[in-house]
Amino acid sequence: MRVTAVVLAAVCLTACSYKSPNAGHEIVLIEKPIIFGHGGVDPEPVRAGLTITAWTTEGVDVSM
């Protein structure tokens, strides 16, 4: 039981990715869900800071 909890926690922590644009750049997120949700381009780009996304989400860096 303890091993199962540790494996589940490890999977949950590694199933995310981080997107952080540099100065003068934006990141457009393209969502590609595997099981549930909707796919496509996210209408709001990442302008500043750090964003946590699903590991299937692709980020396209755009220079502004």
| The pLDDT value given to residue 63 | 92
| The pLDDT value given to residue 8 | 81
| The pLDDT value given to residue 41 | 93
Span 4-60, pLDDT tens digits: 888 887 777 777 888 999 999 999 999 988 888 788 999 999 998 999 888 889 999
| The pLDDT value given to residue 30 | 94
| The pLDDT value given to residue 2 | 86
Q: Where are the domains of the chain?
A: 17-63
What is the DSSP pairing of strand 58-63 with strand 25-31? antiparallel
Strands in 1-64 per DSSP E: 16-19, 25-31, 40-41, 51-54, 58-63
Strand-pairing partners, residue 55, are none
